[in-house]
Amino acid sequence: MPSISVISFSPYERYHLLLCELDDTMFIVDCGWPINSNNETLQPDENGKTRTEASNKFDPRDVLSTINWARVDFILISNYEQMTLLPYITEYTEFSGPVYATEPAKAYGRCLLEAGLVFASRSSIDLVENGNQYDNSLAAEPQASTSRNSLLWQSQFDERRVCSQTALYSQQDIIATMEKVTDVRHNEIVNPVPFVQACTRSSGYCIGGANWTVEYKGHRTAFVSTSSFAACLHPQEWDGRVLSDAQVIVFCDASDPSSSEHGGDVGDSNIPQNIQVSQRINQLCSTAMATLKQRGRVLLVGEPYGVTLDVLQLVAESIISHNLPMPQFIIVSPVGERTLQYGNIMGEWLCESKQALLYLPEYPFADKDLRQKGHLHFARSLSDLATMKIPQGTWFVIVSPQDVSAVDHFIRQWKQDATRSSNADIATSSGAARYSVLMHGDEVAWAQSLVRHISVGSELTYVPVSCRLTFRNIEQSLLSATSAQQVLVPSHIYARLSQVGTADGSAIRSGGGGFEFKLFEYSYLQATTVDLDTDRHLPLSIQKEMTNQMKLSGKQHAVVSGTLSLSAGKIRFGYADTEKDNEKASLDDKPKIVPEVGTKSAEVAGATLLTAGERGSGPSKQSLAWWTPERLASELNEIGVNATAVSGMPNGAVRIVMPSGSATIRMDGGWLVDCTSTNTQWTVIDSLRQVLKLA
């Protein structure tokens, strides 16, 4: 019986690196690592200037060195957030297999990696120089501009180099890695290695976000990465088919609303995710509109993709609907222009409402129209912004949370403008006195440290827009997992889900759905192994045959009586005609079903006739005569089946005992197998097939 082993190599809840093993096949699901970990956290001092505090440090190279990369067959990437360690793996380890990701995940992932290198490569001296070029007032506060950018790869950088000596990889490594990534589409099936198939389903979280299903010898394992049920955002909606046919489900992460100071309200957990996300985006938009109506300036701290696109779209539409002057939208990011273009050109990866705009024809987002009218500007850095001629007054600025220097600059400059403004200007709201800072990131630890840094002397509206599944969403999604037998979740999710399970947490029944499955937990560097058991399912060919017959009979359920046979290495099922109840079913006859009204499930009843070959070919029934009960029991015990020979019957018999029940093999003429349950029946058939094959 095959099994799957899962080991988590990432100590973080949101980022994943799962090493999975299916018999002799080994593969990786996601290569995520937070780009702002393994370094200091931002803390403001009593003067409002930034100081740093060391946090828990994990060197990803130490973690990756424990994996035998020569044995890893392939890598599956779910979304662009889970690609952080991929260049290091492909360029600096022994891994040589294929990597699979959707086209948007590949495009946005490259932007994320390149932006991380750019932010990391700005040394303290460069930051001061850039700030001085834009505003000489920064020279008076060099310490505030030098304690920047706590990133995974941060160290001292030479301004002529792309990355430092301690960086995990370079720009050339990123380019080489992207050439090794194979693009896949949603619902596309790939064969990374023989006997293994992988398929993607939309996760609903971001453009190109995918959940993977890995099929091995008829067993399907679903890997549910960062996902969302929210249908009010621009990505393609959640595809629940990833769970419907999977026997094993592995949830990679989930958000905890109570961990956010703004998301821990008791009532929030009862609000549908779609409504909750929409309310929080509207809250951000309302705050921005209140400032823009007074001709103020808005700073949105967020990456130039994801939820930021929805906020930008909603603000632009609200300004037009209120007939207000259009502000100058400025995006300060080394990759901002590319990421917004991807949103417009990858229309097939968007939600249905955005896709419909492509046929008008229109663009899904407002950025193209804003650019054509001269209201959208892109700056790679503060120094680049200093050379641009942009009208002052009403600005809507978007800055990455990693670019702490740019955040500091705008807040400091706008605060000084507000101080210099006269009371008359403030009263008439001429535009120089008012500004607002918005932030929506849901990386709680990093976001809260940044919030504390910005909040010193500033008004900040922090509305975490958490699009990820919560443990309640996971519980809800499992209602559609009709084939699930085992479910694996991270430890912090297991602690919540097991409360609605059995007393020992070993099984769970969700929402009165009438199905049961085993619930397992996995944790950092701990191996969790589960068996891929399909005893409760009939072979597909028999299942289809029975379903067609029941449809013809006009019945949804029936009790099926007949014989199972092992012939030519395949399990075959024959059942008797109602007019020949006293005769044994021939394997060459067309199967028939005897329906019984009022039954609730399909059951296989009666004895099982086992032959060693098909009629007219191969060994005949008489070839089984040389088997004795003792020999058969010995062969079964060698393959791990608890079998004993039984005397007192003609030609003897063999008794089998297993956890799912017991069975008796009567060896008079053909072998007749009497089983106490359907699960036992399939196990015995498989065991006998293995014994005959070995013999």
> Over the stretch 170-186, which tens digit does the pLDDT of each residue have?
999 999 999 999 999 99
Per DSSP bridges, beta strands 559-561 and 603-605 are: parallel
Which residues make Cβ contacts (< 8 Å) with residue 267, sequence separation at least 6?
none
Q: Are 114 and 185 part of one and the same domain?
A: yes
| The domain boundary residue, chosen from 462, 488, 509 | 462
Instruction: Note the pLDDT tens digit of each residue in 61-96.
Output: 999 999 999 999 999 999 999 999 999 999 999 999
Q: Are 101 and 70 part of one and the same domain?
A: yes
Query: What stretches of 568-638 adopt beta strand conformation (E)?
Result: 570-574, 603-605, 608-610
Is residue 74 assigned to a domain?
A: yes
Is residue 589 assigned to a domain?
A: yes
Q: Distance between CA 61 and CA 71 in Å, rounded?
A: 18
Q: Distance between CA 48 and CA 69 in Å, rounded?
A: 47
Going from the C-alpha of 253 to that of each of 302, 393, 493, the distances in angstroms are: 22, 43, 8
Determine the pLDDT at residue 177: 96
Instruction: Note the pLDDT tens digit of each residue in 583-618.
Output: 443 333 333 333 333 322 333 333 343 443 333 333
Q: Are 546 and 494 part of one and the same domain?
A: no
CATH number at residue 156: 3.60.15.10
**Highest mean pLDDT, choosing among 36-50, 285-299, 356-370, 657-671:** 285-299
| The domain boundary residue, chosen from 482, 514, 531 | 531
What is the average pLDDT across 631-660?
A: 83
Determine the pLDDT at residue 136: 44
Structural domain boundaries enclosing 493 = 3-254+468-531
Whether the predicted pLDDT of 253 surpasses 80 = yes
Whether the predicted pLDDT of 657 surpasses 60 = yes
Q: Are 567 and 515 part of one and the same domain?
A: no
Q: Are 331 and 386 part of one and the same domain?
A: yes
Q: Distance between CA 559 and CA 663 in Å, rounded?
A: 21
Q: Are 183 and 68 part of one and the same domain?
A: yes
Determine the pLDDT at residue 421: 66
Q: Are 368 and 511 part of one and the same domain?
A: no
Is residue 261 assigned to a domain?
A: no
**Highest mean pLDDT, choosing among 279-283, 447-451, 664-668:** 279-283
Q: Are 487 and 391 part of one and the same domain?
A: no
| The domain boundary residue, chosen from 531, 548, 569 | 531
Whether the predicted pLDDT of 124 surpasses 50 = no
CATH number at residue 407: 3.40.50.10890
**Nearest one of 469, 403, 23 to 242, comparing CA atoms:** 469
Residue whose entry in the numeric block shows the structure tokens 């046929």: 359
Q: Are 554 and 446 part of one and the same domain?
A: no
What is the average pLDDT across 218-236?
A: 92
Instruction: Note the pLDDT tens digit of each residue in 144-179.
Output: 333 333 333 333 333 323 333 356 889 999 999 999
Is residue 259 assigned to a domain?
A: no
Q: Distance between CA 378 and CA 333 in Å, rounded?
A: 7
Residue whose entry in the numeric block shows the structure tokens 């705009």: 357
Determine the pLDDT at residue 144: 36
Q: Are 336 and 477 part of one and the same domain?
A: no
Q: Are 499 and 548 part of one and the same domain?
A: no
Determine the pLDDT at residue 366: 85
Number of domains in the chain: 3
Is residue 260 assigned to a domain?
A: no
Q: Distance between CA 500 and CA 123 in Å, rounded?
A: 51
Q: Are 295 and 376 part of one and the same domain?
A: yes
107 secondary structure, DSSP code: H
Q: Is residue 392 within 8 Å of residue 293, measured between CB atoms?
A: no
SS3 of 500-533: HECCCCCEECCCCCCCCEEEEEECECCEEEEECC
